[in-house]
């Protein structure tokens, strides 16, 4: 179990999965349910258990339409869709999967001197931890 990842997901989403009372209404309301390997209520539970890597590897998180029906319907305000979004971000932000590395920058600037500063800063912020 990767506690750092779990913390990261919880922080990014602002969700407290411990509020879940396991009613399954999220899964009951989910329009993409049948497409998913892990269903919304499972996602909540797996985050709680810290099985973030499993989720990151699963296509399920891209089956979510972000329709927020689960967020709307959840009687405990758990907001599963926000967890899904956070897991997607966790995938993007994984280190080692950087689209840009610090040493690439001089070349980039040389290639395109008009490259906006902000793009660089954003890239760093987004792709490094």
Partner 1 sequence: MQKIGVFVCWCGSNIAATVDVQAVSDTLAKEPGVVYATNYQYMCSESGQNLIKDAIKQYGLTGVVICSCSPRMHEATFRKAVASVGLNPYMLEVANIREQCSWIHKDKALATEKAITLGRAAIAKVQLNAPLQAGESPVVKRALVIGGGIAGIQTALDIAEAGFEVDIVEKQPTIGGKMAQIDKTFPTLDCAACILTPKMVECSQNDKVHIYSYSEVTSVKGFVGNFTVSIKKKARYVAENKCTGCGECTTKCPMKNVPNEFNLGLDNRRAIYIPFAQAVPKVATIDPNYCNMLKNGKCGLCAKVCTAGAIDYKQQDQVIEERYGAIVVATGYNPIKLDKFEEFDYSLSKDVVTSLELERLMNAAGPTGGTLLRPSDGTHPHTIVFVQCVGSRDTSGCGKPYCSKICCMYTAKHAMLIREKYPDTEVYVFYIDVRTPGKNFDEFYRRAVEQYGVHYIKGMVGKVAPRADGKIMVQASDLLANEQLHIEADMVVLAAAIEPDKSARPLATMLTASMDTNDFFTEAHPKLRPVESPTAGIFLSGVCQGPKDIPETVSQASAAAAKVIGLLVTAKLTTNPCVAHCNELMCNGCSSCERVCPYGAITYVEKEFRMPDRTTQLRRVASVNPAVCQGCGACTVACPSGAMDLNGFSNSQIMAEVDAICQK
Cα separation values, 96 from 77, 93, 100, 124, Å: 34, 9, 10, 13
- On whether the CB atoms of residues 90 and 50 are closer than 8 A, the answer is no
Q: Which residues contact 104 (CB under 8 A, 6 or more apart)?
A: none
Does 76 sit near partner 1 (CB under 8 A)? yes
Give the number of residues in contact with partner 1, rule: CB under 8 A.
22
The residues in 100-129 that bind partner 1, with binding defined as CB under 8 A, are none
Does 68 sit near partner 1 (CB under 8 A)? no
Does 19 sit near partner 1 (CB under 8 A)? yes
Using the minimum distance from each CB to partner 1, give the nearer residue, 39 or 82. 39
């Amino acid at each position: 179990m990767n506690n750092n990842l779990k913390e990261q997901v919880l922080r990014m989403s602002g969700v407290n999965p411990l509020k879940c009372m396991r009613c399954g209404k999220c899964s009951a309301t989910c329009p993409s349910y049948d497409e998913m390997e892990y269903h919304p209520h499972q996602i909540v539970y797996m985050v709680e258990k810290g099985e973030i890597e499993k989720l990151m590897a699963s296509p399920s998180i891209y089956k979510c339409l972000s329709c927020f029906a689960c967020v709307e319907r959840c009687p405990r305000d758990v907001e599963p869709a926000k967890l899904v979004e956070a897991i997607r971000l966790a995938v993007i932000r994984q280190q080692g999967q950087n689209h840009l590395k610090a040493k690439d920058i001089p070349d980039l600037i040389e290639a395109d001197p008009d490259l906006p500063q902000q793009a660089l800063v954003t890239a760093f912020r987004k792709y490094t931890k």
